């Protein structure tokens, strides 16, 4: 059973998957269309099998054309999926034994709760021997399994000097991370006019500058070994930004540009085609970022995602050995494409977002100083 039915209830993604596996499945529709075409040329066999009692032979031509059209549409979608996969991975496949999760070192920002926590837990469920480094300003809100190789570093990700020092400590004390998951995120929930300087700087530094700097710190070793995987947590707000989180939306749009630019640099500049990149573009998620509030959108079209649904997609991507773009729910990919369409259509889609009821009462509401830094009792712990 699809995870969305178990956690989010029936959604448009579940219907879409069913349609793709049946009506738009070219391996199903095209053979049937071919069989119909054969029976049209050999009507005696059609009668011998008594199929004329089920479907009037005079209707076969129309049914065949209909199924052929649907089959071609399904084949086009399947080809699009395959080409997207091939280009995302530079037409390369993981080598045999390339990913050894006993030896991989995974660094996760924001791993004390939310998506980061669930990604770490998902990785440890797959392989308890995987080494995980957690970098976060908040202490762990969960207890790692006994014997788990968890290394925790407390750090304010708005401070570039701390990022540099933590990265050096990780390399010296643990080793070079082969997987970087930039899942730490913050949002202040203020309008552009009313938000303080500290609000804006804290959001942009945590959500965009920190992933940039962490990528710079750990990418060189990945490039040298032509082995690694970087996961960035984007958001649908990068495409359809609602009010009150303009700084957050801007940071996520910037993160997407980081991802796309890095794709080209890895392939053409650094010649490291096997370093994988994954970009997650979810809608609203039940994380501490929302403080337990519900945005109030239609659950069938835009379900409030369970954090485990998102983390499982990320872990699956890591274990596949391939990079990809994760749209959750899947309809997000079509909304993203509106950016290239008529501006008035995009505006009509964005207009209702002012009604979204968000309560930023979670972990993102922390004290920030005038420079945008997080007020921690012990940043260096």
Task: Kindly give the interhelix angle for 307-320 and 114-126, rounded to the nearest 10 degrees.
Answer: 50
Residues 6+ apart with CB under 8 A from 83: none
Q: Which of 137, 244, 248, 322 is the catalytic position?
A: 248
Please tell me whether residue 306 adopts helix, strand or coil conformation: coil
Q: How far is CA 315 from CA 126, 231, 233, 280, in A?
A: 9, 10, 13, 11
**What's the CATH number for 105-355?**
3.40.50.720
Kindly state the helix (H) or strand (E) to which residue 324 belongs, with its residue range.
none
Closest CA to 75 of 130, 129, 27, 39: 27
Residues 6+ apart with CB under 8 A from 141: 112, 113, 117
Residue 59 known to be catalytic: no
Question: Rounded to a whole number, what is the distance in angstroms from the first to the last CA of the chain?
Answer: 43
How many residues comprise the chain? 381
Residue 248 known to be catalytic: yes
Q: Which of 137, 153, 239, 252 is the catalytic position?
A: 252
Q: State pLDDT tens for residues 47-96.
A: 888 888 889 999 999 999 999 999 999 999 999 999 999 999 999 999 88
| pLDDT confidence of residue 363 | 43
| pLDDT confidence of residue 327 | 95
Check pLDDT > 60 for residue 378.
no
Q: Domain residue spans in the chain?
A: 9-88, 105-355
Give the DSSP per-residue string, 48-62. Answer: HTTGGGTS-GGGHHH
Share of the chain above pLDDT 70, in %: 90
């Amino acid at each position: 059973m699809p995870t969305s039915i178990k956690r989010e209830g029936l959604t448009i993604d579940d219907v879409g998957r069913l349609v793709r596996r049946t009506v738009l499945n070219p391996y199903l529709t095209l053979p049937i269309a071919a069989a119909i075409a054969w029976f049209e040329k050999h009507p005696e066999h059609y009668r011998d099998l008594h199929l004329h009692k089920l479907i009037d032979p005079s209707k076969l031509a129309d049914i065949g054309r209909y199924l052929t059209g649907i089959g071609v549409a399904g084949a086009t979608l399947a080809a699009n999926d395959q080409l997207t996969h091939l280009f995302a991975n530079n037409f390369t496949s993981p080598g045999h034994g390339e990913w050894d999760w006993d030896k991989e070192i995974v660094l996760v920002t924001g791993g004390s709760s939310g998506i980061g926590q669930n990604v770490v837990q998902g990785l440890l469920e797959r392989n308890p021997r995987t080494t995980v480094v957690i970098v976060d300003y908040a202490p762990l809100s969960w207890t790692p399994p006994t014997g788990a190789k968890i290394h925790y570093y407390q750090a304010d990700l708005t401070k570039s000097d701390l990022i540099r020092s933590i990265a050096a400590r990780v390399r010296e004390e643990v080793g070079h991370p082969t997987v970087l998951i930039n899942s730490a995120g913050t949002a202040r929930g203020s309008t552009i006019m009313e938000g303080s300087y500290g609000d804006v700087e804290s959001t942009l530094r945590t959500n965009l500058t920190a992933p940039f700097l962490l990528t710079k710190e750990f990418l060189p070793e990945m490039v040298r070994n032509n082995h690694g995987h970087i996961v960035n947590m984007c958001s649908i707000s990068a495409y359809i930004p609602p009010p009150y989180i303009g700084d957050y939306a801007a940071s996520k749009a910037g993160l997407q540009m980081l991802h796309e630019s890095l794709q080209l640099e890895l392939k053409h500049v650094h010649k490291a085609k096997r370093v994988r990149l994954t970009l997650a573009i979810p809608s609203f998620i039940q994380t501490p970022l929302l403080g337990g509030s519900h945005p109030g959108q239609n659950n069938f079209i835009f379900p409030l995602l369970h954090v485990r649904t998102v983390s499982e997609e990320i872990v699956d991507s890591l274990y596949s050995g391939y990079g990809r773009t994760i749209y959750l729910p899947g309809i997000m990919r079509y909304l993203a494409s509106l950016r290239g369409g008529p501006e008035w259509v995009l505006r009509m889609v964005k207009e209702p977002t002012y009604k979204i009821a968000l309560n930023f009462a979670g972990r993102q509401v922390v004290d920030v100083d005038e420079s945008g830094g997080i007020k921690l009792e012990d940043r260096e712990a």
